């Protein structure tokens, strides 16, 4: 897999197994292989303090649930016309159902540097990361496809660039030093990385830090034989921007139901998505009290329904509950917060930080409402 003459790695720890990627320079990224004795996952980072913490996580002593539930999976991986392999429902799947959960094979900080002679074209750095992985994980890795031109990308970085999804290496809710821009990580999964894109996705990919696993939640009811899809691009962008992004980063022209509608319908869809984007920007980044009316919030909810964007619906309900609280509409705000909790639970599960945050808010505002009634 990696010629001995190009192997610049060196094992610096046997338990847990850690290898420095390049002995030729100081502070080179390291490869951490977990769980101890199995090496099903490699974690790549130049921050050795983070790798030390990762190695101590108790989750590595727990069984990987995905291994025990293969026969119970509600989907098949099969060839989808014009898309290659994809995920298709083998039975009816209800909205809010956890379709699949698994740990990544490969997890790495997005901003990594390596020596000038280790490039995307020769793939030396990335091949070095894989060489001490378990045979099972290597097999799953190379079963995935690369969309990148082979003249410019070795198969390993090509597979990574094609299939990686966003992951997190800390609980952002409790980590006061968490910087989303700096602490950005990507992960590759044996099954979740096979899920294809749609601008009206039937499922939501969510990374659950407590179990260090990617999760796939049904965003609406999915029929037998229907393809299960997620999004690879911001859904509030207009069609021309979504398609350009996907062509540039994934090398395909999107032909999902939202992208192949007649021009007049496409214009109406773009208007709804652009309006939703503008409202969410106002709600997220402007100081309180925001100049947003309840009528505007209700309109945004209708847009999320029209565009089948369940994650954005949850966000509108969450921010809307905060706006209504500022306006003193406690009863309505609580109703919106409860609806937001249900919406986030459906696409992220009970363990998500958004659900926990809304549970805390419910306790606070419920107490305030009781006092108001007294």
pLDDT in tens, 291-314: 889 999 999 999 999 999 999 999
Print the domain residue range for 145: 4-230
The token pair that represents 136 in the structure block: 């099972």
Domain boundary among 176, 207, 230: 230
Same domain, 208 and 267: no
Which residue is it, tokens 């599960």? 349
Residue 68, pLDDT above cutoff 60: no
> What share of the chain in percent tops pLDDT 70?
89
pTM of the model: 0.92
CATH code, domain carrying 55 = 2.170.270.10
pLDDT in tens, 322-345: 999 888 888 999 999 999 999 999
Supply the pLDDT for residue 64. 74
pLDDT-derived band at 178 (thresholds 50, 70, 90) equals: low
Residue 60, pLDDT above cutoff 70: yes
Same domain, 118 and 73: yes
Same domain, 38 and 173: yes
244 within a domain of the structure (yes/no): no
251 within a domain of the structure (yes/no): no
CATH code, domain carrying 293 = 1.25.40
Q: Is 83 left (phi over 0), alpha (psi -120 to 50) or beta?
A: alpha
Supply the pLDDT for residue 355. 95
Same domain, 176 and 311: no
Q: What is the mean pLDDT of residues 141-149?
A: 96
Same domain, 197 and 73: yes
Q: What is the mean pLDDT of residues 8-22?
A: 96
365 within a domain of the structure (yes/no): yes
Residue 257 neighbours by CB distance under 10 Å:
11
Q: What is the mean pLDDT of residues 207-223?
A: 96
Domain boundary among 179, 211, 230: 230
Supply the pLDDT for residue 284. 83
* Mean pLDDT for the chain overall: 91
Give start and end residues of each alpha helix (H) in 154-197: 155-163
Same domain, 176 and 62: yes
138 within a domain of the structure (yes/no): yes
Same domain, 267 and 213: no
pLDDT in tens, 77-91: 999 999 999 999 999
Closest CA to 100 of 78, 73, 77, 137: 73
238 within a domain of the structure (yes/no): no
Supply the pLDDT for residue 373. 45
The token pair that represents 211 in the structure block: 């179990």
Q: What is the mean pLDDT of residues 42-48?
A: 96
Is residue 130 within 8 A of residue 184, CB to CB? The reply is: no
92 within a domain of the structure (yes/no): yes
216 within a domain of the structure (yes/no): yes
Closest CA to 330 of 371, 271, 284, 279: 371
Residue 367, pLDDT above cutoff 60: no
240 within a domain of the structure (yes/no): no
- The HSE-up count of residue 99 (CA atoms within 13 Å, CB side) is 34
Same domain, 343 and 211: no
**Which residues neighbour 69 within 8 Å (Cβ) at sequence distance 6 or greater?**
none
pLDDT-derived band at 283 (thresholds 50, 70, 90) equals: confident
Same domain, 211 and 327: no
Supply the pLDDT for residue 4. 57
Count of domains in the chain? 2
Of how many residues is the chain composed? 374
pLDDT-derived band at 361 (thresholds 50, 70, 90) equals: confident
| Strand ranges inside the chain, DSSP E | 10-14, 17-20, 30-34, 41-45, 75-80, 84-89, 98-102, 106-109, 165-167, 185-188, 196-197, 203-208, 213-218, 227-230
Strand partners of residue 99: none
Supply the pLDDT for residue 371. 44
The token pair that represents 327 in the structure block: 């306006």
Domain boundary among 181, 214, 230: 230
pLDDT-derived band at 364 (thresholds 50, 70, 90) equals: low
Q: Pairing between strand 10-14 and 203-208?
A: unpaired
pLDDT in tens, 254-276: 999 999 999 999 999 999 999 99
Same domain, 277 and 199: no
Supply the pLDDT for residue 291. 81
The token pair that represents 107 in the structure block: 């997890």
């Amino acid at each position: 897999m990696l010629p001995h003459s190009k192997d610049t790695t060196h094992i610096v720890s046997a338990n847990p197994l850690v290898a420095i990627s390049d002995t030729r320079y100081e502070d080179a990224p390291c490869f951490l292989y977990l769980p101890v004795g199995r090496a099903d996952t490699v974690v790549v980072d130049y921050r050795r303090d983070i790798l030390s913490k990762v190695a101590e996580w108790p989750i590595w002593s727990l069984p990987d649930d995905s291994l025990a539930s293969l026969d119970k999976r509600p989907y098949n991986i099969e060839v989808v016309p014009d898309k290659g392999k994809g995920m298709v429902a083998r039975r009816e799947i209800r909205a809010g159902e956890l379709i699949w959960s698994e740990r990544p094979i490969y997890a790495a900080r997005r901003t990594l540097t390596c020596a000038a002679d280790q490039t995307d074209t020769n793939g030396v750095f990335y091949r070095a990361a894989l060489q001490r992985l378990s045979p099972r994980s290597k097999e799953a890795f190379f079963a995935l496809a690369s969309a990148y031109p082979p003249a410019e990308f070795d198969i390993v970085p090509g597979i990574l660039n094609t299939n990686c999804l966003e992951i997190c290496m800390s609980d952002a809710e409790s980590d006061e030093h968490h910087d989303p821009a700096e602490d950005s990580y990507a992960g590759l999964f044996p099954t979740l990385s096979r899920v294809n894109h749609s601008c009206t996705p039937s499922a939501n990919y969510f990374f659950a830090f407590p179990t260090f696993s990617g999760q796939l939640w049904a965003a609406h009811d999915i029929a037998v034989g229907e393809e299960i899809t997620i999004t690879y691009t911001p859904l509030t962008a207009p069609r021309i921007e979504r398609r350009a992004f996907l062509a540039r980063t994934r090398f395909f022209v999107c032909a999902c139901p939202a992208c192949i509608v007649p021009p007049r319908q496409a214009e109406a869809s773009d208007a709804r998505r652009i309006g939703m984007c503008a409202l969410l920007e106002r709600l997220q980044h402007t100081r309180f009290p925001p100049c947003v009316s309840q009528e505007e919030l209700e309109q945004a909810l209708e847009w999320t329904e029209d565009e089948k964007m369940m994650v954005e619906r949850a966000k509108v309900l969450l921010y809307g509950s905060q706006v209504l609280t500022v306006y003193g509409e406690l009863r309505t705000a609580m109703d919106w917060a409860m609806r937001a909790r249900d919406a986030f639970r459906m696409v992220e599960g009970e363990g998500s930080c958004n659900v926990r945050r809304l549970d805390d808010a419910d306790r606070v505002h419920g107490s305030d409402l009781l006092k108001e009634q007294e």
